[in-house]
Chains A and B, each alone.
Chain A
Amino acid sequence: MKDVTMNKIKISANNVQVYYGDNHAIKDVDVQIEDKTVTAFIGPSGCGKSTFLRCLNRMNDTIDICRVTGDIAIDGEDIYDRRVDPVQLRAKVGMVFQKPNPFPKSIYDNVAYGPRIHGLSRSKAELDEIVEKSLRRAAIWNEVKDRLSAPGTGLSGGQQQRLCIARAIATAPEVLLMDEPCSALDPIATAQVEELIDELRQSFAVVIVTHSMQQAARVSQNTAFFHLGSLVEYGDTDTIFTSPSDPRTESYITGRIG
């Protein structure tokens, strides 16, 4: 259910174009992402959802051939400004990747790594607290509390993904980007993660890419539908799913393109 009160705009993107070499992957996208809201990006495979998501924390900088133009501002500050250090930006905008990618270190170190490098804790006890809190919020604490020193890579796929979520929220980001976080999860773990997303909404702006219409409908308040690199429709999730204004949106959510 969409909140009655309109939240403030956390991320505002205008005229965003992304090129991979000659491939024009994102075409003139304008999107306003609200704070303390879950925004879902949906669309057929290859339409540019991940690409756009990666623009929001400048992960695209690591791809040599990728070029981004346009304005993306977080809290009114242009993140592609020359003075912005992407490292600092990424501490503020956490990311969970499509494929679980825990560090080949212990479960504890996986979660503690971010707080450590950002100096978020002054003592071991404080760090322990952050680790426990993050693991609890990611709904994995009960499964791993007895083996915090075991390698994170030894967990099951779904557990690894929740560990990655714990790792992302441990750095206390303001925005959490999730690229198909549930694609490796079973229905139970998916439900847990969805619950978690709903809870995280209290503190962050969450942007989630998903291929599941049901998931988008369940967890998000706003939905953006991408098609062939363009943003076709963006708005209130209920509206998009019940009375889409664009025929392409309608055929996608009813399963005719994708």
Chain B
Amino acid sequence: MSDPVTSSLLSVDARTRKRNAAEKRFRFYGLSAIGAGLAMLVLLLVTIFGNGLGAFQQTFITLNVPLLEGKLDKSGERDLEKIKKVSTFGYAPLMVQAMEDALAANGIETELKGKKQAALLSKSAAADLRDFVINDPSMIGKTVAFTFLANSRVDGYLKERVTRESIADDKSIDAEQLDLVDALVVAGVIEKRFNLAFITGADASDARPEAAGMGVAMMGSFFMMLVVLALALPIGVAASIYLEEFAPKNWITDIIEVNISNLAAVPSIVFGILGLAVFINYMHLPQSAPLVGGFVLTLMTLPTIIISTRASLKAVPPSIRDAALGVGASKMQSVFHHVLPLAAPGILTGTIIGLAQALGETAPLLLIGMIGYIASNAPDSVASGLLDPNSAMPAQIYEWAKRADPAFYERAWGGIIILLAFLVTMNTIAVLLRRRFERRW
């Protein structure tokens, strides 16, 4: 005991000074940890947006195309079957013609041959034009202003990814063509603008990065999430309620409990190989189908949902259960009338976080063939959405990232932005639902 005369509240004693110093140090460590974390986050976001925003812009070339009847519909009958017989080779000369017209109209001179001029257009340009005509044969005979995708090299040139130095060894474009691009940009024929097709379109082959889009993979992800939600939520919640509220506490439930916790930590690729063995090899469900992907992701999400649901059920004060049982409610009434509504915000949050996890999961999809599959058409019904081969958003991103053409690299980053947008949206919904349903007791 210190002498009461010597201890004054106005002077800090050595021990207190030491403790205060320790506290200050600890706060400093904490702040630096948070600072480091924030710096990483900023770095991540800057990289993603710096690399990926370009994918949302695309270079387009608008030309007046003479849709000559003599080339596209020799009979003049506008018979769709006959029009369809004209392949993209029949359309190529029209595009060359249109290009030359555009040069003449803008007073641009070049020594390039027509074919090389038309090479500024995407390799899918002729197919796009053909689709346009087949959709609306009445356009034959007219001259239409058609907006073509520019070749990815042209796009890259406008985005400064492709430079005159970098094309030295590039066979698909040369310096004269770039001169022509410069002139056409000045004339307003070539312009860069927002590209909705990147968000809604299908993936494209290696030769046409400019046409590749995320849309079909997004549908694949959507249908997988539908399956996950429809299966994992009811199964997970029912299992949790049973385990938490009804199951006797004995060694069997202990084993189940331990197993669920362990399942949550199992690497996702294990679920993938399980899916391959059970759903595809044994049950003969179609390969690469979102249905199977959904099953696999359901297995992966279930432990997450069960654990968070049980935690929220546990958090409901037992006095509420006593109160319900005390007025003569049955066990089930006490759970469904009182406990579950109180646990709902936690359950919803857990479910959405589980879904978000599943949305970004790539590894298990590898084994059931959803990576590397290029679906060219969006599903037209729920059944085809579930059963037709498709990819998924993270699978699409992985696919693009591993392709050689740097134009795909940009799209991979762009895809990540879309994926992030989905995740942020889902998490926001989780927070909002939580706020909305949270009640205090």
Residues of chain A whose beta carbon lies under 8 Å from any beta carbon of chain B: 57, 59, 62, 64, 87-88, 90-92, 94-97, 99, 101-104, 113-114, 117-118, 151, 153, 164, 167-168, 170-171
Residues of A within 8 A of B337 (CB): 113, 117
Complex formed: what's the CA distance from A108 to B225 in Å?
Answer: 41
Task: State whether the Cβ of B338 lies closer than 8 Å to any Cβ in chain A.
Answer: yes
Residues of A within 8 A of B248 (CB): 64
Contacts A103-B338, A104-B342, A104-B440 known; A97 to B324 CB distance under 8 Å? no
Task: State whether the Cβ of B330 lies closer than 8 Å to any Cβ in chain A.
Answer: yes
Are A87 and B330 in contact (CB-based, < 8 A)? yes
Q: How far is the CB of A119 from chain B (nearest CB, A)?
A: 11
Task: State whether the Cβ of B10 lies closer than 8 Å to any Cβ in chain A.
Answer: no
9 nearest A-B residue pairs (beta carbon)? A91-B328, A101-B319, A114-B327, A104-B441, A95-B326, A90-B328, A101-B323, A87-B330, A153-B441
Complex formed: what's the CA distance from A103 to B182 in Å?
Answer: 74
Complex formed: what's the CA distance from A123 to B29 in Å?
Answer: 65
Contacts A87-B330, A117-B329, A118-B328 known; A62 to B342 CB distance under 8 Å? no
Are A90 and B325 in contact (CB-based, < 8 A)? yes
Task: State whether the Cβ of B71 lies closer than 8 Å to any Cβ in chain A.
Answer: no
Task: State whether the Cβ of B439 lies closer than 8 Å to any Cβ in chain A.
Answer: yes
Residues of B within 8 A of A168 (CB): 326-327
Contacts A99-B319, A104-B342, A153-B440 known; A87 to B326 CB distance under 8 Å? no
Complex formed: what's the CA distance from A102 to B320 in Å?
Answer: 7
Residues of B within 8 A of A164 (CB): 323
Q: How far is the CB of B207 from chain A (nearest CB, A)?
A: 62
Complex formed: what's the CA distance from A137 to B53 in Å?
Answer: 69
Are B321 and A114 in contact (CB-based, < 8 A)? no
**Chain B interface bracket (under 10, 10 to 19, 20 to 34, 35 or more):** 20 to 34
Residues of A within 8 A of B440 (CB): 104, 153
Report whether over half of chain B's contact residues are helix, strand or loop; otherwise say mixed. Answer: helix
Q: How far is the CB of A74 from chain B (nearest CB, A)?
A: 14
Q: Which of A91, A92, A102, A151 contacts B323 (CB 8 A)?
A: A102
Q: Which of A87, A96, A102 contacts B329 (CB 8 A)?
A: A87
Contacts A91-B328, A94-B327, A114-B327 known; A62 to B441 CB distance under 8 Å? no
Are B322 and A101 in contact (CB-based, < 8 A)? yes
Contacts A103-B338, A117-B333 known; A87 to B328 CB distance under 8 Å? yes
Q: How far is the CB of A208 from chain B (nearest CB, A)?
A: 15
Complex formed: what's the CA distance from A114 to B325 in Å?
Answer: 10
**Residue ID in chain A nearest B332 by CB atoms:** A87
Known: A59-B322, A117-B328. 10 other contacts (CB 8 A): A59-B325, A90-B326, A97-B326, A101-B322, A103-B338, A104-B320, A104-B441, A117-B333, A151-B439, A153-B440
User: Which residues of chain B from 289 to 348 have any CB-CB distance to chain A below 8 Å in the complex?
Assistant: 317, 319-331, 333, 337-338, 342
Residues of chain B whose beta carbon lies under 8 Å from any beta carbon of chain A: 248-249, 317, 319-331, 333, 337-338, 342, 439-441
Residues of B within 8 A of A113 (CB): 324, 327, 329, 337
Q: How far is the CB of B106 from chain A (nearest CB, A)?
A: 73
Q: How far is the CB of B242 from chain A (nearest CB, A)?
A: 15
Complex formed: what's the CA distance from A168 to B47 in Å?
Answer: 63
Q: How far is the CB of A199 from chain B (nearest CB, A)?
A: 20
Q: How far is the CB of B243 from chain A (nearest CB, A)?
A: 14
Complex formed: what's the CA distance from A102 to B327 in Å?
Answer: 11
Residues of B within 8 A of A103 (CB): 320, 323-324, 338
Complex formed: what's the CA distance from A8 to B249 in Å?
Answer: 41
Q: How far is the CB of A112 from chain B (nearest CB, A)?
A: 11
Q: How far is the CB of A111 from chain B (nearest CB, A)?
A: 10
Are A88 and B323 in contact (CB-based, < 8 A)? no
Are B329 and A101 in contact (CB-based, < 8 A)? no
Complex formed: what's the CA distance from A117 to B320 in Å?
Answer: 16
Complex formed: what's the CA distance from A62 to B325 in Å?
Answer: 9
Complex formed: what's the CA distance from A114 to B330 in Å?
Answer: 11
13 A-B residue pairs with CB within 8 Å:
A57-B326, A59-B326, A62-B321, A87-B325, A88-B328, A90-B325, A90-B327, A91-B327, A104-B320, A104-B342, A117-B337, A118-B328, A153-B441
Complex formed: what's the CA distance from A171 to B440 in Å?
Answer: 26
Residues of B within 8 A of A118 (CB): 328
Complex formed: what's the CA distance from A12 to B323 in Å?
Answer: 25
Complex formed: what's the CA distance from A139 to B164 in Å?
Answer: 91
Residues of A within 8 A of B249 (CB): 64
Q: How far is the CB of B324 from chain A (nearest CB, A)?
A: 7
Q: How far is the CB of B372 from chain A (nearest CB, A)?
A: 52
